[in-house]
Amino acid sequence: MLHVRVISPADRTDAVLDIATDCPAVVNVLRLPGAAHAPAGDLVEFDVAREAANGVLDALRGLGLKDTGGITVEALDLSISTAAEKAEEAAPGDPDDAVVWDELTARTATETRLTWAFLAFLALATQIAAIGALLDQPILIVGAMVLGPEFGPVAAICFGLMSRRGALVGRAVRTLVVGFTAAVLITMALAAAGRLLGWIEPSMLDGRPLTDFIIHPDRWSFVVALLAGIAGILSMTAGKSSTLVGVFISVTTVPAAGNLAVAVPLAHWNEVGASLIQLGVNLAGMLIAGTVTLFVQRALWSRYGMKVARTR
């Protein structure tokens, strides 16, 4: 269940209540006249089954409440109520499969921000991947995959392409390009310093049986990227973010960047191109699969999702 809090001008509160009470997937409706002060208005609260949230939120948005009041939505971890159980049964589908588009819009917008935290995590992940490549240690490669935050902007690009939001796509692409460029340059500088100090040498990149998959992109790399893109989008839309860890471990974007960063100062030029191809193959696969998955989800929920009549 989702809890919805609405601040409504007094002249639109009845319309808000009509939307809530007319939907069989809504329960626990409260009205507090004049309770809101900034912005001023009435406060209406109710719980709605996740599967029916899109129709209810669309109807509320149709009242212009975004500009004259406010709509807040939060997930409920526990609801002990027979009425809530009936509301869940009245809504089509299963809550784990439901896509709340407003929730995804907010989440992907957040993922496009080029923050210091994003740059730090990506740089640290790239450095760990570089060390894993030098030492031929798969466990370090896996650790770098888990730490890398790059799937957020990838998901934002997929959503931007599906919803035709060019600005969102542009911000996400900028975040990815700047993030990977900064991470590779930082790791490259550290690798160059390590070579000057005698800590690393070119022979460390020769004969790596455990991690040479990083520089051997093939059809299976693309297939895995496609599967990871589907899994990643499903984990975000279904609210099962814990499964994103599996997505991170599935693709070698960060390891490819880490290998690129050490290949340049160690003059392994043949691995530079291979690393770039591996990075491109994985990003392309995730983008294609993620975008297609969102199109399929939108088509299914448009056809089978619960419709809510808008009150004028």
> pLDDT, tens digit, for every residue of 242-297?
556 656 666 778 999 999 999 999 999 989 999 999 999 999 999 999 999 999 98
Residue type, 190: L
Window from 74-88, 101-115, 182-196, 235-249 with minimum mean pLDDT: 235-249
For residue 178, pLDDT beyond 50: yes
* Residue with more model confidence, 161 or 214: 161
Under DSSP, is residue 311 helix (H, G, I), strand (E, B) or coil? coil
Helix or strand run (H / E) with residue 237: helix 219-237
Backbone angles phi, psi at 78, to 5 degrees: -150, 135
Q: How confident is the model at residue 312 (pLDDT cuts 50, 70, 90)?
A: very low
Which residue reads 């490819």 in tokens?
256
Name residues whose C-beta falls within 8 Å of residue 161's C-beta, 6 or more positions apart in sequence. 169, 287, 291
Average confidence score pLDDT of the chain: 89
Helix or strand run (H / E) with residue 35: strand 26-37
What would the pLDDT profile of 204-240 be if each residue is shown by its tens digit? 998 888 888 888 888 888 999 999 899 888 888 875 5
Q: How confident is the model at residue 156 (pLDDT cuts 50, 70, 90)?
A: very high
Number of neighbours of residue 124 by Cβ within 10 angstroms: 18
Which letter does DSSP use for residue 202 in this model? G
